Structure 1
Amino acid sequence: MPRPASRAATPLVFAHANGFPGLSYRSLLAPLAERFDLHPLDRLGHHPDFPVGHNWLALRDELLERLDDFDTPVIGVGHSMGGVLMAMAAEQSPERFRGVVMLDPPLMLGFDALAMKAIKRLGLADRFTPAGRTLGRRDSWPSAQAMRDYLRRRRLFRRFTEQALDDYVDGGTRELDDGRVVLLYDPDIEVAIFRHLPDHLDQLPDLLQVPVGVLAGRDSDLLTPRRCRRLRRRGVRVGQVPGGHMFPMEYPEATRNALTTMLDELLEASA
């Protein structure tokens, strides 16, 4: 394990993607503890006081409550859903943040926001978001090794490093007395989160009062070149790293290098 940062280090709070508890990101995050006071969050959306609902507003409020533990402004970093929630929280309470970096966020702007609004209104979220693919997903395996073997054949996990796959299996499950492993992240909550993808954030880049950046996967089918250009036109700093939407698990070292470079730029801007 890396040497922990000093108490005076800047707090870095990390919010995970939907379906991936904070411990799934160990390969990416652990070395950052040498420089930052690191705080990966665990299973947003599972607190009974903040049930998943319209446009992730309750999830934003859950994140803001987690930040009550800090008496200084934090750096907010998040992957996918986590990145959007960090930006939403920073828009709501800018005094709590020194900056925000979103990793391949599903941030719907312009026509994408209008389309998402129509999709949800027409009850088509399961068809046009990952919700439909998540319905009925497998949530238990005879052993951790059986889970690894199963996931390695799935498209989403195919390019994970061996360590990142182990991190997901170890950090995202609990072992039962009979040796079976079951997911910690409730699949029903995962589906609900996808169904409520925010459609109200078109003005978010203009409203943010803290430095913000985005890292996009070069092969991502979410943050396409067109969407990256749109973000840049709205004043968002955009960088690229190898890999698809799950690049933090596919290329953790390259992601970490790009993230620290962007954080240096944002912290300089915030100063």
Structure 2
Amino acid sequence: MSQSVFFAHANGFPSGTYSKLFDALEPDYRVHRLDMHGHDPRFPVNANWENLVEELLHYHAALRRPELYRGVVMLDSPLLTVADQLVIRVAKRFGFIDRLTPAGRTLGRREDFEDFAEALEYFAGKPLFKRFDRDCLEAYVRHGLAPADARGLRLKFDPATEISIYRNVPHTAPGRARQLAVPLTLVRGRHSRVVLPHHARLVSHIPQGESLSLPGGHMFPLERPQDTAALLKTVFARWQQRESHKESP
């Protein structure tokens, strides 16, 4: 019987972009996910992602409801230090948060394309996408764009929503990291500029925390989807083994 995994996609990248990763996890794991996080009008983006936590259960939600989880894996998502939180708070207060997050690069981004081929060529030439697995790049264009009202294709993610998510990145948490009652694995891209070595070291102070890495940058799950799936299977199997030992008489 397959185990269930809930996957939270990166901002601006619909879940379908990760199809190759999901396929590599099956049939051992059934992956549940939202198509596009942050676009449900019942959960509008607000300060510190409080409504997004209600829509999507991730690290913050695991602090609130640990009974819903067997563990949490963060794929190049930083576990913030006190200093990080202070910098984010100040950046919001004084209006330079766009320089700390991708919000500034999202402003004025191209949204419309004539067809799939044009969009694929365009994104293939962008630095963020240049190391993407080809199947993942094609999946991004296929799932991330939709027919426009007039003609051609348009990005499905609403730019204003995407920017709002970046601008409201949490500078608080509903509890201390050391209070996390489930295993936490942080997987860092070795060339990431988002999750830095000091973030990885912070995980070592969590009772059930561990830090791992894979080759690649911040988007390594879409650069190396099969390697990512193999690592996730190893992590999940280790959690299951620990549980089995705890249940043994």
Contact 2:5–2:32 (Cα < 8 Å) also in 1: yes
Per-residue deviation at 1:113?
1.1
| Structure 1 residue aligned with 2:120 | 148
Q: 1:248 aligns with which of 221, 226, 240?
A: 221
Contact 2:63–2:174 (Cα < 8 Å) also in 1: no
Per-residue deviation at 1:230?
2.0
Moved more, 255-264 or 150-159: 255-264
| Structure 2 residue aligned with 1:266 | 239
Amino acid corresponding to residue 38 of structure 1 in structure 2: V
% identical equivalent positions = 38
Q: 1:24 aligns with which of 17, 20, 33?
A: 17
Q: 2:193 aligns with which of 198, 221, 224?
A: 221
| Structure 1 residue aligned with 2:8 | 15
How many residues were matched structurally?
Answer: 243
| Structure 1 residue aligned with 2:247 | none
Q: 1:252 to 1:160 in 2, by over 3 A?
A: same
Contact 2:79–2:202 (Cα < 8 Å) also in 1: no
d(CA) in 1 for partners of 2:190 and 2:16? Answer: 24
Contact 2:91–2:97 (Cα < 8 Å) also in 1: yes
| Structure 2 residue aligned with 1:79 | none
Q: 1:268 to 1:179 in 2, by over 3 A?
A: farther
d(CA) in 1 for partners of 2:91 and 2:56? Answer: 26
| Structure 1 residue aligned with 2:134 | 162
d(CA) in 2 for partners of 1:17 and 1:88? Answer: 16
Per-residue deviation at 1:167?
0.8
Q: TM-score, normalised by structure 1?
A: 0.85
SS in 2 for 1:31: helix
Which 5+ residue runs of structure 1 have no aligned equivalent? 1-7, 65-85
Per-residue deviation at 1:203?
4.9
Per-residue deviation at 1:119?
0.9
| Structure 2 residue aligned with 1:37 | 30
Q: 1:60 to 1:10 in 2, by over 3 A?
A: same
Q: 1:202 to 1:215 in 2, by over 3 A?
A: farther
User: 1:1-271 counterparts in 2 under 5 A?
Assistant: 8-64=1-57, 86-176=58-148, 180-201=152-173, 203-235=175-207, 236-271=209-244
Contact 1:109–1:201 (Cα < 8 Å) also in 2: no
Which 5+ residue runs of structure 2 have no aligned equivalent? 245-249
Q: What RMSD in Å do the two structures reach over aligned CA positions? A: 1.7
Instruction: Point out which structure has higher relative CO (alpha carbons under 8 A, 6+ apart).
Output: 2
